[in-house]
Amino acid sequence: MKKAKKIAMVGALTLMVTIGSHSIAGAAIIHSVEAGDTYWKISQRYGVSLTELLSANGANENSVLYVGQQVIVPTAGETYRVRQGDTFWIISQRVNVSVNELMQVNGANDKTVLYVGQTINLPPQVKSYTVKQGDTFWIISSKFGVGVNSLMEANGANQNTILYPGMVLLIPQPPQNNTQKPSVTYITHTVQKGDDFWQLGIKYGVPYGEILEANGLNENSVLYIGQKLRIPVHNIPVKSTPGPQYGELLDWWTEAQYVWPIGVDAKITDFYTGISWNARRTIGSNHADVEPLTAKDTETMKKVWGGSWSWGTRPVIVEVKGRRLAASASAMPHDIQYITNNGFNGHFDVHFLNSTRHKDGAVDEDHQQKIHIAAGK
C-alpha cells in the first residue's frame, strides 16, 4: 500500500482504502514554510526522517527554503477518515495513542475543527493489515493482541461486517495499562505581533511560567516578532474508572490542570442528581476558578444547591476534551469575574485531586472526599 502512487487532494496527498465509514492509507501532508524553518526542523516536527523528507521534495541538505514555500511531508503511519461525532480524543481512544501525539502529527491544537470525511494522519506506531483468505475479526485481533471490539470500532465495523481478501484494516495499539505516567514534549511557536507570555500560556494550555522556564526567560523578557519559543506539551494518559458513571482521578498539579486549561469550556454534571450545566475555567492556579457560561447555566447550577448559593461541596464530573474527570465543586460566587451577563457575580471553585485553597495553600479535605466519591474510590 505504501508503494502505491499518491493522489493530491486539498493540500494533502493520500491513497485511501475504505472499510465501513473510514479510510486508511500511506500519506503525506503539505507544510507551509515559516521563518526559521529548515528541512531538519520540519522533519523533527512531523516525526519523519530527514532523508525521506529531502527525497519527497527532490532536495538535498544544501537546499534553501523560502517563507511560504510548500513542502511535502511524507508520514510514517496511516491516515484516518473522520466520522460523524469524531474528536481528536475519540480517535486517539480508538487506536490507543496519546491525543497530544495525534494532534502533533497533524499540526493541530485545541481549536482545530474536524470535518466529516476529512483525512488526518495517525502516529507511526499505528499499523494496517491486509485481510487474507479465512481471516475473521477474532483471528486478526488475536494475532495483534487487541480486543475484537476495539478492532471493529477502529474500522467502523460490526459483527455483520464481511471481510474480503485484500481489504485493509487499521490495527489499534494494544491497550495500555495505568502505569503510564504524564510526560512532557515540546513544540515550537514563532512569535507574532501582539504576543505576550500570558496569552501564549492561554493559547497552549500551560501556565505561562512554564514557557518562561522552558526558554530561560523571565517576566521582564522582551519578545521579538519571529522569535522561536519552546512550548511544553503535557501528555496526560487516560486512567480507567470503576464504572462509566465515574470520572478519572487526576492529580491537579501534574494532570488535571493541563486537561482543563484556562479559557476552555466544559460540561459539569452533579454526581448525585445528574443535572448538568456549562462552564469555563477562567483563572485559578491552586484549583480551577470557574464561571457559568450563560444565565441559564447559572440557574441550572443554583437548583443543584437547593436554590441558593453555598460554600457546600458536591461531587461532580467535569467533561472536557472528550474526557470525564472526577472533581468537587462549591457554589458561592466570589472575587474575579470575566464572563458578564450570566447572572453570576464572580466565579466558583472546582477542586481536583490534591488541589489546594488559594487563601492558605492547604488541601481542603471536604473537597477531596467529594472528589473520591466522583471517582468511585
Q: For 193-211, how does the pLDDT look when each residue is reduced to its tens digit (9 = 90+)?
A: 999 999 999 888 899 999 9
pLDDT number for residue 93: 77
pLDDT band at residue 12 using 50, 70 and 90 as cut-offs: very low
CATH code given to domain 1-26+75-174: 3.10.350.10
Average the pLDDT over 40-54 and give the result.
77
Q: Is the predicted pLDDT of residue 122 greater than 90, yes or no?
A: no
Strand, helix or coil for residue 214: helix
**CA angle, corner 280, sides to 285 and 307, nearest 5?**
105
What does the block give as the cell for 133? 483468505
The letter for the amino acid at 283 is I
Highest mean pLDDT among 87-91, 137-141, 166-170, 269-273: 269-273
Q: For 101-114, how does the pLDDT look when each residue is reduced to its tens digit (9 = 90+)?
A: 788 788 787 778 88
CA distance 288 to 286: 7
Of 207, 200, 202, 218, the residue nearest 184 (C-alpha): 207
Strand, helix or coil for residue 94: helix
pLDDT number for residue 364: 94
CA distance 78 to 31: 18
**Listed range (63-67, 212-216, 347-351) with the worst mean pLDDT:** 63-67
What does the block give as the cell for 344? 453570576
Q: Is the predicted pLDDT of residue 74 greater than 90, yes or no?
A: no
To the question of pTM greater than 0.85 for the whole model, the response is no
CATH code given to domain 183-235: 3.10.350.10
Whether the domain at 1-26+75-174 and the domain at 183-235 fall into the same CATH topology: yes
pLDDT band at residue 29 using 50, 70 and 90 as cut-offs: low
Class of domain 252-374: mainly beta
Contact 79, 120 (CB under 8 A): yes
pLDDT number for residue 25: 39
Q: Where are the domains of the chain?
A: 1-26+75-174, 183-235, 252-374
What does the block give as the cell for 304? 443543584
**φ and ψ at 78, to 5 degrees?**
-100, 175
Q: What's the farthest any 2 CA atoms get from each other in the chain?
A: 70
pLDDT number for residue 156: 84
